A and B are shown apart, each in its own frame.
Chain A
């Protein structure tokens, strides 16, 4: 399925971008909900660990997570294919361009922002996901894998903790910009454009793209400051 859709028309490729993008946005909310538990500190460490355990073992969630991995890959590969095609469509570049006169920065840099995010996701998964699944984990008081301690160490006591926080925040900024354009753009691509509702969708998108990454970013900053 993936192959034929990717080889399909330019519009089909865009539909997939939009659908996977929106799906990933929903995932962000779920992920954030879990992460916010971290703000409870050591007191809620066991709750966080229980949540992490649930997320990695419950069958339905597992299926969803494979869908998620596929989406990330799909979104990235599709994006790369589109970008290659776009580059080919203008082999000779302009000598001088003034694009800020007609379009927003984020909308013109989706591929760049996406690349930043992809690099982050790789690092992020290596640090937490891989270790949770396949690495050695400390065990908490009730015998769960103690992801809380791993996270806390990473952002507070590790020698390069400040760098971890900084990279995390940069990545969240990238996500914010990517969503700033991507959220409403996905609706336009799916054909949703209405004089009444589009302004609302845009506003929701802007709020979403600021609030969600900001809340993500607050967690390591908070942990770092209150260590």
Chain B
């Protein structure tokens, strides 16, 4: 396959950035998208040019580090697929592929396609945990039965890989899907209920402070989420926050 890549180049956070065109030749359709980028980078290095910086790590779709906005969609055209699991057979010979970083005020560009997602960490630090010490002297694991249905729902919410595709897809750069997944996981489990109200207030507050936009319920986040986190979680968070706001003394 021969392709034309249009890639966002930005030499550091303060650079204005621009799109640059690169032809890539002899691409094997069995390559992953990132392997294609590797090939391009090898070529750039051999030509004495600066390779394209991008984030990636596990390359099996679970670490959440890869983050490319490909042909107008986060992680590219395939559903339920991270960039690292996207293969070149999803494209046609002769295609032009546009590659950009996640764009959001809360995710400043570090270089080229790599962005800083520390905002997500800070939201989690605001309350994404159960306040229990790690002594191991907790009660026996089976002393707290959890209805299978809730356990499964909590698990589904907990599978969020924190990649930020939801923010990238949302026309408002809203982080609601990400935040609601964590809020839901704990709200559904008895262990997390105790501090549920406090948690949702703190996490939403942090989310707002980070400069994410608002949720318009377009559903783009759910459609683009590589692990299929459901909008149901956003509704649950709306509920949790409403009840927390109504019941709080503030």
Residues of chain A touching chain B, judged by Cβ–Cβ distance below 8 Å, are 9-15, 82, 85-86, 88-99, 101-104, 107-108, 110, 181, 184-185, 188-193, 195
Contacts and interface: CB of A to CB of B under 8 A. Distances in A.
Q: What 9 pairs between A and B have smallest CB-CB spacing?
A: A98-B72, A191-B239, A193-B235, A89-B213, A86-B172, A102-B223, A89-B173, A103-B218, A107-B218
B208 A9 contact: yes
Contacts, number: 134
Contacts of B44: none
Contacts of B19: 95
Nearest to A101: B73
Contacts of A103: 171, 218-220, 223
A188 B223 contact: no
A110 B100 contact: no
Given A10-B207, A94-B72, A107-B216, A188 B104 contact: no
B220 A11 contact: no
Contacts of B172: 85-86, 89-90
Contact of B98 (A85, A96, A191, A193): A96
B223 A190 contact: no
Nearest to A88: B105
Given A10-B215, A102-B219, A188-B234, 16 more contacts: A10-B214, A11-B238, A86-B213, A89-B106, A89-B212, A90-B103, A90-B173, A96-B72, A98-B72, A99-B72, A102-B73, A104-B219, A191-B238, A191-B239, A193-B231, A193-B235
B215 A189 contact: yes
A102 B214 contact: no
B236 A191 contact: yes
Interface residues of B, number: 48
Contacts of B17: 92
B100 A96 contact: yes
A180 to B, nearest CB: 12
Contact of A98 (B71, B105, B106, B235): B71
A97 B102 CA distance: 12
B185 interface: no
B205 A9 contact: yes
Interface of B: 6, 8, 17, 19, 69, 71-73, 77, 98, 100, 103-106, 169, 171-174, 204-205, 207-208, 211-220, 223-224, 231-232, 234-242, 245
Contacts of B237: 11
A97 B47 CA distance: 31
A87 B43 CA distance: 38
A185 to B, nearest CB: 4
Nearest to A107: B218
Contacts of A95: 6, 8, 19, 98, 100
B77 A94 contact: no
B114 to A, nearest CB: 15
A188 B242 CA distance: 12
A92 B103 contact: yes
B169 A188 contact: no
Contact of B235 (A88, A97, A188): A188
A86 B72 CA distance: 19
A26 to B, nearest CB: 20
A101 B215 CA distance: 18
Contacts of B235: 188, 191-193
Contacts of A93: 103
Contacts of B105: 88-91
B238 A190 contact: yes
A69 to B, nearest CB: 24
Contacts of A88: 105, 211, 213
Which of B69, B215, B234 has the most chain A CB atoms inside 10 A of its CB?
A: B215
Contacts of A191: 235-236, 238-240, 242
Contacts of A86: 171-174, 213-214, 216
A188 B211 contact: no
B207 A94 contact: no
17 contacts: A10-B207, A11-B204, A86-B172, A86-B213, A89-B173, A89-B211, A89-B212, A91-B105, A98-B73, A99-B171, A99-B220, A101-B77, A107-B218, A188-B231, A188-B235, A191-B238, A191-B240
